[in-house]
Structure 1
Amino acid sequence: MTTKEIHGTVAEGFDAVRDEFAAFVASERDDYEGQLCAYVHGRRVVDLWTGDGADATSLYGVYSSTKGAAHLVVALLVQDGTLELDRKVTYYWPEFSAEGKANLTLRDLVTHRAGLIGLDTGFSLDELADDRMIAERLADQRPFWRPGTAFGYHALVIGALAGEVARRATGRTLQELFEERVRAPYALDFHLGLPQPLEPRFRSAQPMLPTPKQQAVLDAAPTGPHTLTSIAFNAHVPNPGEFTDFANSRTVRAKGQTSAGGVASARGLAGMYAAAISEMNDRPPLLKPDTAAEVGQIHSIGYDLVTRTHRSYGLGFQATADTWYPFLGAGAFGHSGAPGSQAFADPRSGLAYGYTRRRFAYPGGAAPENERFVRAAHKATLAT
C-alpha cells in the first residue's frame, strides 16, 4: 500500500473527484505517479497530482493523446476553409495517388479509413520520429485494405498523413500551427516539440508491470510479425525495442511527432480541450459550435481491423462517449494514450479532462482508473 501524499486543489463540489483519486493512489504501487486536471466552462475545477519528485508542471510522454492536438489543428483549418474534408487528398498532395489511393478523401484519411497503417518494411526509430519522412514513405505504400471500405487505427502515422495535407495547404507544419494557434496563446504545457530548456521537467516513461494473471492474458493475445496490429505499431521490424523507448527518445520529444510524440501535463491536456470548447483567457472557444459538433460526430464505428476491438472515431478524435464513457454527452471527443493518459472535451456539459501517468497501465490505452475519475468529475459538473 502506498502512503503517497495527494497534492493540489479541487473547487467546491468536486471533493468526490479528489476522494476517487486518493482511493486509487492508496491501492496502487508505491511508485505510482500521476496528474489529474479538469475544467468546466473554462474554469479549472480539479488540479491534483502525486509521486516522488513530481508536481503539477511535470511533463510526460502522452503518446496517442498527442493526436488530439493534431486533429484540433486540422479542425481549425477546416473551420477556416483552408481544408475541405470531402476533397481528395491528392488535391493537396498529388504524390499520394500511388498504389490505388487516388480517390481517398481527407475525411476518410482522418477517420482511419485509408488502410495506410504503416510500411511493409517498417520504420527505424529516427524515421518514426519524423513526420515528413513518414509521409514521404507512405505516399508510395500500398494500402493494407481498400481505402474507404473499412477502418483501423493508424496508431503511429495518422498525424504525419494529416500533417502533410496541412503543410501542402498552408506551408506550415502541424507543429508550427499548433504552437502559433493553440499552445502559445493559452500558455499550455502541451508540446509538439519539447524545447531543450524544458527537458528537466520531463519524467521518463516507465514500462508496464502487469500482474501474473494480466501477463497471461497478454501472452495469449494473437500476435505475429506480419499482422495488421504489428505493422500499425511498427512491431514487425527486427529488434523493435520497448514501447517506452519512443517517449524516452530526445529525438522524438524534440521533433514532436504528431501521432504519438507529444509531451504534456494533465493541465496541458485538459487546458487544450477547455480552450477548444469554452471561453478562456478572454478568448472565444477555438471551435465554433458547428465545428465541435462535426469533429465529435461518429464517422467510423464498429470492428477496428488493427486493435481488433469495437472502436468509434469522429474526425480524427475518438468518440469518447461510445468508446470509453457512455455517461458522457453525445458528441464528446478526445484521445487516450498508451501509458494510460486520457483527455477529452464534452461540449454538452462543458467538461474538459486530462490525466497523465508515468508508468504504463495494463492493458495500454486509457487506464482503467479514468472511468472512476471521469464519472466523479462528470457527476460534479452536472451538479454545479
Structure 2
Amino acid sequence: MTVHGTVVAGFEGVREEFAAFLAAEEHPPGAQLAVYRGGEQVVDLWSQGVDAESLIGVFSSTKGAAYLVAALLVQDGLLDLDRNVASYWPDFAAEGKGGITLRELLAHRAGVIGLDAGFTARELADDRAIAARLAGQRPFWQPGRFFGYHALVIGALVGEVVFRATGRTLHAWYEERVRAPYGLDLWLGLPESEEPRFLSTLPMLPTPQQAAEIEAATASRYSMVGIAFNEHAPGNVELYDFPNSRAVRAGGQASAGGLGSARGLAGMYAAAAFGLGGRGPLLKPDTAAEFARIHSEGNDLVGGAPKAFGLGFQSYGSRFPALGAGAFGHSGAAGSLGFADPRQGFAYGYTRRRFAFPGGAAPENERLLSSVVRALG
C-alpha cells in the first residue's frame, strides 16, 4: 500500500513501520500519523482512504482538548482543583454530590457516569443539555472512593464548571486560547465551511476470533459500562456512528465529538508542552506535571479493567513502556491517540477512519510510537 507524506532525516524507520502495519491490514483503515520533536514536525504520513487534510472523528481523544482548557484555567487561577464543583454550579449538589471537588471530577471519581433513564440523541450532542440532566442524577458509587471512566459525559461536566466559573464556554476558551492561535486542525464544533474535509467513520470489520471475543465480552446494557455508553437508552446509535451526525460535529461535544487530523492532535500536544510556531508552551512545567500525575489507578468500575488517570488525561506507563514518566494525553474509541512526552521531548498524533478492535488506542500505536522513540535516540 502506498504511504504518502514526509519524514525528516533519521525518522525513516517510522515511515517503514507505518508502511509495514498497513501492508498487513486486510481492510485498510485510512490512517494518519504526525509527530513533533519539540516544536518541529518530523513525521507527517497518511495512507489510502484519507489525505493530509482529512478531518476524522477522534472520539475520546477530544477529551484532551477539554482537559487542556481546564489546565489553562487552573494555571490562570480561574479554577481551583480543590474547590467543590457545587460552589461553581450549585445545582450539582443534588443527590449527595455537594462534596465532590473539581480534582475528583477530573480524576473520574465523581460517579456521575450517565443517567438512569439514558440520554436522547439530541441531548447527547449538546454538552449544556447533558450537564443540565446530570445535575440531578445520583452518583453510581460513593464519590471519591472509587473511579470509573465517565466516557460520554466528562467533557460536559468539566465544561459546565468552566462556564459557571468564567461565563464562557469551554469551546470558546479552546478556540481562543488553543485552536485558532496555533492553527490546529482539531475542532470542537466543526464550521459548515470545513464540512467538505470530514470523512465519516467506518465500522469495525472484526475477524471471526475478534467477533467471538466481542460477543463473549458483551455486557448488559444496564451495567456500569452500558450506562456510561448510553446503551440502555431507546434508539441509542452505534458508537462508531457518533461523529457521523452533523449535530454532534457542529456542537463539538467535548467528551467524544471532536473532529481532527493527526496533525491537529500532535500539534495540540506540541503547543501544550513545547510551544509551536514561535509561540511558547501553553502549560508551565508544574501545571503539566500536576495534570499528568496519576490520581486514579487500579480497577476501573466502568470498564472493569486496570487503568490509570491523571487529572483527566490518561497515563500510559503500563500500556506503552517506551513512554517517559509524565507523558499525558488521551485515546479515542476508533483507535486514535494523542499525547505529549515532555521528558523525551515529543508529541504524537494518530487517527484512523475505520474502528479498530478492541477500541481505544489501536494496537498498532505500540509499534508506531516505539519506532518514534528509536528515531529520537
Q: Same fold (TM over 0.5)?
A: yes
Contact 2:11 2:42 (C-alpha < 8 Å) held by counterparts = yes
Give the Cα separation in 2 of the matches to 1:320 and 1:196. Answer: 35
Percent sequence identity is 63
Q: Residues 297-330 of structure 1, C-alpha deviation per residue, up to 9 Å, x if partnerless?
A: 00000000011111000010001223x2122111
Task: State the distance in 2 between where 1:279 and 1:245 align.
Answer: 34
Q: Deviations over 1:208-265 (max 9, x none)?
A: 1110001101101151121000000001112323212211000000000000000000
Instruction: State the 1:343 CA deviation.
Output: 0.5
Residue of structure 2 in register with 1:342 after alignment: 337
Please give the alpha-carbon distance, in whole angstroms, between the structure 1 residues aligned to 2:373 and 2:73: 30
User: Which structure 2 residues correspond to residues 72-221 of structure 1 after superposition, within 5 A?
Assistant: 72-221=68-217
SS in 1 for 2:13: helix
The amino acid across from 1:72 in the alignment is: L
Letter of the 2:374 counterpart: K
1:379 deviates by 1.9
Match in the other structure for 1:365: 360
| Aligned mates of 2:22, 2:28 — CA distance in 1 | 10
CA distance in 1, matches of 2:175, 2:362: 28
- Which region of structure 1 is more displaced relative to structure 2, 218-227 or 143-152? 218-227
Q: Please state whether the residue corresponding to 1:164 is helix, strand or coil.
A: helix
Maintained 8 Å contact 1:47/1:267: yes
Residue pairs, 1:245-256, within 5 angstroms: 245-256=241-252
Match of 1:270 in 2: 266
- 1:320 is paired with a residue of what secondary structure? coil
| 1:121-154 alpha-carbon deviations (Å, 9 max, x no partner) | 0011110000000000000000000100000000
Q: SS state of the match for residue 116, structure 2?
A: coil
Q: Provide the C-alpha distance between the structure 1 equivalents of 2:127 and 2:267, rounded to a whole number of angstroms.
A: 25
Cα deviation, residue 30, structure 1: 4.5
Q: CA deviation at 1:82?
A: 0.4
Which residue matches 1:48?
45
Residue equivalent to 1:38? 35
Specify every segment of 5 or more residues in structure 2 that has no aligned partner in the other structure, as ranges.
Answer: none
Q: Is the CA contact 2:292–2:328 (under 8 Å) kept in the aligned structure 1?
A: yes
1:378 aligns with 2:376: no
2:58 aligned partner: 62
How many residues are treated as equivalent by the alignment?
A: 377
1:303 to 2:299 alignment: yes
Note the C-alpha offset of 1:38. 0.4
Equivalent position amino acid for 2:2 in 1: E
**8 Å Cα contact 2:22/2:28 also seen in 1:** no
**Distance in 2 between residues matched to 1:349 and 1:313, nearest whole Å:** 20
1:20 lines up with 2:14 in the alignment: no
Tell me, in whole angstroms, the C-alpha distance in 1 between the residues paired with 2:240 and 2:357. 14
1:281 and 2:252 are equivalent in the alignment: no
Between stretches 10-19 and 71-80, larger displacement belongs to 10-19
What letter corresponds to residue 205 of structure 2 in structure 1?
A: L
CA distance in 2, matches of 1:11, 1:225: 48
For 2:87, give the aligned amino acid: Y
For 2:43 and 2:19, locate their aligned partners in 1 and report how far apart those are by CA, in whole Å. Answer: 13
Spell out, residue by residue over 1:25-48, the C-alpha distance to the aligned partner (whole angstroms, 9 max, x if none): 101135431100000111001000
Distance in structure 2 (CA, Å) of the matches to 1:307 and 1:13:
39
Secondary structure at 1:161's aligned position in 2? helix
**Aligned mates of 1:222, 1:380 — CA distance in 2:** 40
223, 227, 232: which one aligns with 2:228? 232
Task: Work out the CA distance in 2 between the residues paired with 1:68 and 1:225.
Answer: 27
After superposition, the CA RMSD in angstroms is 0.9
Deviation at 1:91, TM superposition (A): 1.1
Paired letter, 2:89:
W
TM-score (norm 2): 0.99
Structure 1 unmatched runs, 5+: none
Give the Å deviation of 1:380: 1.3
Moved more, 234-243 or 35-44: 234-243
**Alignment check: 8 A CA contact 1:320 1:344 kept:** no
Aligned to 1:257: 253
Give the whole-Å Cα distance in 2 for the aligned partners of 1:21 and 1:44. 17
